[in-house]
């Protein structure tokens, strides 16, 4: 293992329901501010579900020329905007690197849903000739990675992970491995999503995945007995990962080290998690083992914690299998109680929540947690943040199709910055 690179986080960027920069995002999380509200992007009068976690006060003029913004779907705009903050935070200039050792790996679960719906309506109402020539490049899920590479001149490995709600975590894990094993020196990585659209919401509603509570303060209820489904969120989280050697050479600020990644499959059901939690537990165990720590050293888990009846029970079972008796001693929280579920971007913004928790020692709460449920009996950091020194944080993402991903972040002695 001595010939492997250590991988560190030197930049972060966020566009989210809870804030459009990292500092605002983390401040709102630790203060337990609920970002869930009534949907404004389309008329929900005929919909069962009327609430979501929308990105607010997002002005593309702050990031793009108008002509460039018009060539991007909303999910792509989020990704590039978050990448701009991450790059600015990191101080990275591609001119300082071999451009072919600079990669971009950004996940998205569904890609350009806004574009897809808009162009399909044109097709049905006005015919094939009215479909935009930009339909395909704006709709495809890999275009966020493509646009980011064009913006910053990164010419190394460039692709998109598509694994439902684990997409962002898988992207970060794959970027980590490419740097650790010497294929890249630096990577822009994370996830982006913008699926608060009539068509997408109808699909998730009809499969009974979404909460049908129309009270914004009683809709996203991770680990609570009253939970009935998740709340759709949108946004992007982007990290700059680079080798420790590179970061030190350019005297970069280092926020944390990423030291472990686990990826497994349930091989069980198209949407439901495996009830025994074995595969999700294995993802956590693999990440912990790669980090070279024991389960007892995990101080904080940012859980997948969607607020669906099955996920929260089975994730709790999986955490107990992975951590043993220490599961009762570690703090767990679901920031989805405030941000909603960002699908392919969830693991990315939650990784940033973990890193900021390591930096500042304030664990975000699980808000609106009022009624414990049988078998869901761990410390979910209910309703109020907790000040605690966090040396190791674990981020979990579990996606439709049985995709599991876990990431370990750890304190780095040169941590400075935000």
Residue of 160, 304, 354, 403 marked catalytic: 304
3-state DSSP helix/strand/coil % of the chain, to nearest 5: 40, 20, 40
Q: Given 102, 160, 341, 403, which residue is catalytic?
A: 341
Instruction: Let me know if 360 is a catalytic residue.
Output: no
In what helix (H) or strand (E) does residue 81 lie, and over which residues does it extend?
helix 74-90
Cβ-Cβ contacts under 8 Å for 194 (sequence gap 6 or more): 55, 73, 74, 75, 78, 112, 113, 114, 234, 235
In the residue annotation, 341 being an active-site residue is answered as yes
Which pairs with CB-CB distance under 8 Å and at least 24 residues apart come from 65-71? Answer: 71/134, 71/137, 71/138
Tokens in use for 357? 């928790």
DSSP letters for 178-242: HHHTTS-SEEEEEEEE---SHHHHHHHHHTT-B-----GGGS--TT-TT---B-BB-EEEEEEEE
DSSP 10-70: EEEEEEBTTBSSHHHHHHHHHTT----EE--SS--TT-S--EEB---S--GGGTS-HHHHT
Q: How many angstroms separate the CA atoms of 387 and 100, rounded?
A: 42
Judge whether 112 and 76 are in contact, CB under 8 Å: yes
**Residue 389 region, left (φ>0) first, then alpha (ψ -120 to 50), else beta?**
beta
Q: 165 an active-site residue? A: yes
- Count CA within 13 A, CB hemisphere, residue 314: 19
Select which of 76, 102, 160, 165 is catalytic. Answer: 165
In Å, how far are 62, 97, 103, 104, 287 from 152, measured between CA atoms?
17, 12, 10, 10, 30
Catalytic residues: 165, 304, 341
């Amino acid at each position: 293992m001595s010939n492997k690179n250590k991988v560190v986080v030197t930049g972060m960027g966020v566009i989210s329901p809870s804030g459009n920069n990292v500092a605002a995002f983390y401040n709102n999380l630790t203060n337990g501010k609920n970002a869930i509200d009534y949907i404004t992007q389309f008329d929900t009068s005929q919909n069962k579900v009327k609430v979501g976690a929308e990105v607010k006060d997002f002005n593309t003029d702050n990031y793009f020329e108008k002509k460039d913004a018009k060539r991007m779907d909303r999910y792509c705009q989020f990704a590039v905007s978050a990448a701009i903050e991450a790059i600015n935070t990191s101080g990275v200039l591609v001119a300082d690197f071999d451009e072919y050792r600079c990669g971009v790996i950004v996940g998205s679960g569904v890609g350009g849903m806004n574009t897809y719906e808009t162009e399909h309506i044109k097709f049905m109402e006005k015919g094939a000739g009215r479909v935009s020539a930009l339909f395909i490049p704006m709709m495809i899920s890999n275009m966020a990675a493509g646009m980011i590479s064009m913006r910053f001149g990164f010419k190394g490995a460039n692709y998109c992970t598509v694994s439902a709600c684990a997409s962002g975590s898988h992207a970060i894990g794959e970027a980590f491995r490419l740097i650790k094993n010497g294929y890249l020196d630096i990577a822009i990585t994370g996830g982006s999503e913008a699926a608060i659209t009539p068509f997408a919401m109808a699909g998730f509603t009809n499969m009974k995945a979404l909460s049908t509570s129309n009270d914004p303060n009683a809709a996203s209820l991770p680990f609570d007995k009253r939970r009935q489904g998740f709340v759709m969120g949108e946004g992007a989280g982007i990290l700059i990962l680079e080798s420790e050697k590179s970061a030190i050479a350019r005297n970069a600020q280092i926020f944390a080290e990423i030291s472990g990644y686990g990826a497994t499959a349930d091989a069980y059901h198209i949407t439901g998690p495996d009830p025994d939690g074995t595969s999700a537990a294995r993802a956590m165990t693999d990440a912990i083992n790669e980090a070279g720590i024991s389960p007892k050293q995990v101080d904080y888990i940012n859980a997948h914690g969607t607020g669906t009846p099955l996920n929260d029970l089975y994730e709790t079972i999986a955490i107990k299998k992975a951590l043993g008796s220490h599961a009762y001693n570690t703090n767990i929280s679901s920031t989805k109680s405030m941000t909603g579920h960002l699908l392919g971007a969830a693991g990315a913004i939650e990784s940033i929540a973990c890193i900021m928790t390591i930096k500042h020692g304030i664990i975000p709460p699980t808000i609106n947690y009022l009624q414990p449920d049988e078998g869901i009996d761990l410390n979910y950091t209910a309703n109020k943040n907790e000040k605690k020194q966090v040396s190791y944080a674990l981020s979990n993402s579990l996606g439709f199709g049985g995709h599991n991903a876990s990431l370990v972040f750890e304190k780095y002695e040169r941590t400075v910055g935000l």
